[in-house]
Structure 1
Amino acid sequence: MSWERVKQWARNLKRDVVALWIAARDPRTPWYAKAAAGAVAAYALSPIDLIPDFIPILGYLDELFILPIAIALTVRLVPADLMAEFRRTAAIRERKPYSILAAVVIVSIWMLALFALAYLAYRMPAKGLL
């Protein structure tokens, strides 16, 4: 695969994320496709990752594998004629939308995980540590 093809694939992926964001808000989109498109687009457009990039290997796993697969599967849920229209609309859109709500959800998940770890650490007996 040439570098130009990789760059084109990445551009198409970015366009599809915006198209899914549009699909999630369109009343003609079926409810199941709307739910999946909303979730995938919100995560992709969120300024915060569920798995931070500074975590070795796992940090980039979502951007390299999980997110492209989720986008490809979700695109298949949207009817083809609607998806073509949403792709055209996304291609002419100047700026990429972003999702504050998704950022809040991801930060909340991290906060819950930290509180759960702190609670477990507090409740766990400290046998043999000192």
Structure 2
Amino acid sequence: MGRFRAVWRDALALLLSLTDKRTGGQAKLIAALALLYAISPIDLIPDGIPVLGVTDDLLIVPAVLAFAARNLPAPVLYQARGKVNRLPRIWPYVLGAVLGVVALFYGLAWVLARN
């Protein structure tokens, strides 16, 4: 669980550091590709499968963003991690609730499409 939190922390740190002038082009490109994958209809696990269709977005996108965060200059990464640590502790629950609602709508749409 600690590793999962570290991946999400670094993914958020990268997103928060994209506007920093010291952030390199490679990190920005990888972030853009990860976000493009997240909104793309092409997935490893099709989104039409209830609940499971969203899991690849929940695992792959943060992992790629965390990898890109490793390419940030150390001062930028530390500053962004500080910003993430100052975020309210409620954000994982809000994110989970939003993703749960999205998964519920996917499942409902799948059930309705089959009838």
Deviation string 1:3-59 (CA, Å, 9 cap, x unpaired) is xxx2x222222221221111111112112222323443x469x7x674427268665
2:19 matched residue in structure 1: 25
The reply to whether residue 80 of structure 1 matches residue 42 of structure 2 is no
Distance 1:34 1:56, change over 3 A: closer
| CA apart distance, 1:83 | 0.7
Is the Cα–Cα contact under 8 Å of residues 53 and 60 in structure 1 kept in the other structure?
A: no
Alignment of 1:31-70 (within 5 A): 31-40=25-34, 42=35, 50=41, 51=43, 52=47, 54=49, 59-64=54-59, 66-70=60-64
**What residue ranges of structure 2 are gaps of 5+ in the alignment?**
96-115
Letter in 1 for 2:55: Y
- Does the residue aligned with 1:25 lie in a helix, a strand or coil? coil
CA distance in 2, matches of 1:56, 1:10: 19
| CA apart distance, 1:67 | 2.7
Distance 1:88 1:22, change over 3 A: same
Residue from 4, 7, 15 that aligns with 1:10: 4
Q: CA RMSD in A?
A: 3.4
2:110 matched residue in structure 1: none
TM-score using structure 1 length = 0.49
TM-score using structure 2 length = 0.53
Deviation beyond 6 Å, 4+ runs, structure 1: none
Across the two proteins, how many residue pairs are aligned to each other? Answer: 87
2:103 matched residue in structure 1: none
- The higher-RCO structure (CA 8 Å, 6+ apart) is 2
| CA apart distance, 1:86 | 0.7
**Identical amino acids, percent of aligned pairs:** 24
Letter in 1 for 2:7: L
Distance 1:38 1:26, change over 3 A: farther
| CA apart distance, 1:88 | 0.9
Letter in 1 for 2:14: L
